[in-house]
Structure 1
Amino acid sequence: MTLTPKRAQDSLVQMTELVLPNDTNTFGNLMGGRLMYWMDIAAALASMKHCSAPVVTASVDNISFENPIKLGNVVHIESKVSRAFTTSMEVHIRVWGEDPVQQYRYKSNEAFMTFVALDPNGNSRPVPKIIPDTEEEKKLYESAMSRRQMRLILSGKMKPEDADALKAFFSI
């Protein structure tokens, strides 16, 4: 079965949330777990949009919290498939906070998550390839193989010596 490749931009999902008291810690900042929950939803939606199938989260890369998002601020989450492999998709997620009173927007964090498409029996199924258009999409697409191989090595699914995309980083 040959699947028609799709543009990265076609998987774009933008979510907006308001930080309410139940979403915050004792410092009045958005709880990291709540933000990760929202990021997971946005990334799953982008994956489903790309492959037109149910998906499951396979991995979450490092999430660094650059700036806290305060109570009453708005959270903007943008997710887009950066590369599709055989049955999995890497999704790039960016998060901004916005102070609606002072009217400024600031970067909170970004991350990569991997999703696997499922068939009606719950087994993995092939996904369409990605066509990157913009310079940023092309950079994310090209660097995705290195990130994928790192994930596979860390999960024990690949031997370091088999990671061709990473050899340039470690060879002398």
Structure 2
Amino acid sequence: MSAPEKRSLDPKPVSASHVVMPQRMLPSDANPAGNVHGGVILKYIDTAGGICAIRHARSAVVTASIDRMDFLKPAYIGEVVTFMASVNLVGATSMEVGVRVECENPITGETRHAGSAYLTYVALDAERRPQAVPPLILESDADRRRNREAAARREARLQERRRERDSQLQHQSENS
């Protein structure tokens, strides 16, 4: 048996893991109104985001959270829906990946921004434990903007967790 390959933790540029994943929406993807089910869109968002995170970490990943999902416009059967994913921020073992959803009428070429989502993935080692991920190289002004916005979302999540923890501790002490 050969020794496991050593992973590189050298910084990686955002472009090294960027994903563009087009999908044609089929009748099996529809709800009774003829729109694509939100759950179908979410599945593809998680798939594109997961591929992006795997490319960055070069390891298995798990979805830890979906911070936010905004459905801005419906997707329709027959359209090509493209899922564009990029790493926005990395921590010690986790990454925030942003996924933009665009719908295209393949006949007219008309496109529209249908939604966006922010997901957190955790990199896993061979024993399925969290492991370190490479730092992120921000290459453009858009990368730097997305990184700043992701850092603000992360701080808001941490503050919310602290408030929840403090509330639980207060509740426990009142009931003791």
TM value normalised by structure 2:
0.85
Alignment RMSD: 1.6
- Which aligned pairs between 1:1-172 and structure 2 lie closer than 5 A? 3-154=9-160, 156=161, 158-159=162-163
Query: Which residue of structure 2 lines up, in the alignment, with residue 169 of structure 1?
Result: none
Which structure has the larger Rg over C-alpha atoms? Answer: 2
**Whole-angstrom CA distance in 1 between matches of 2:8 and 2:37:** 43
**Whole-angstrom CA distance in 2 between matches of 1:67 and 1:2:** 40
Using the TM superposition, give the Cα deviation of residue 2 of structure 1 relative to its aligned residue in structure 2, in angstroms. Answer: 8.1
Name the aligned partner's letter for residue 98 of structure 1. E
Query: How many percent of aligned residue pairs carry the same amino acid?
Result: 33
Deviates more, 1:16-25 or 1:143-152: 143-152
Q: Which runs of 4+ in 1 moved over 6 A?
A: none
Contact 2:17-2:87 at 8 Å conserved across structures: yes
Name the aligned partner's letter for residue 20 of structure 1. L
Q: Which ranges in structure 2 are unaligned for 5 or more consecutive residues?
A: 1-6, 165-176
> 2:151 aligns to what SS in structure 1?
helix
Q: Which ranges in structure 1 are unaligned for 5 or more consecutive residues?
A: 161-172
**Whole-angstrom CA distance in 2 between matches of 1:48 and 1:3:** 13
**Whole-angstrom CA distance in 1 between matches of 2:9 and 2:32:** 49
**Whole-angstrom CA distance in 1 between matches of 2:122 and 2:39:** 22
TM value normalised by structure 1:
0.87
**Whole-angstrom CA distance in 2 between matches of 1:14 and 1:94:** 10
The total of aligned residue pairs comes to: 158
> Residue deviations 1:111-134, cap 9 Å, x none?
110000000001000000101111
Query: Which residue of structure 1 lines up, in the alignment, with residue 169 of structure 2?
Result: none
**Whole-angstrom CA distance in 2 between matches of 1:124 and 1:159:** 25
**Whole-angstrom CA distance in 1 between matches of 2:149 and 2:84:** 19
> Residue deviations 1:59-111, cap 9 Å, x none?
10221111101111110000011111100000011000000122211110011
Using the TM superposition, give the Cα deviation of residue 44 of structure 1 relative to its aligned residue in structure 2, in angstroms. Answer: 0.4
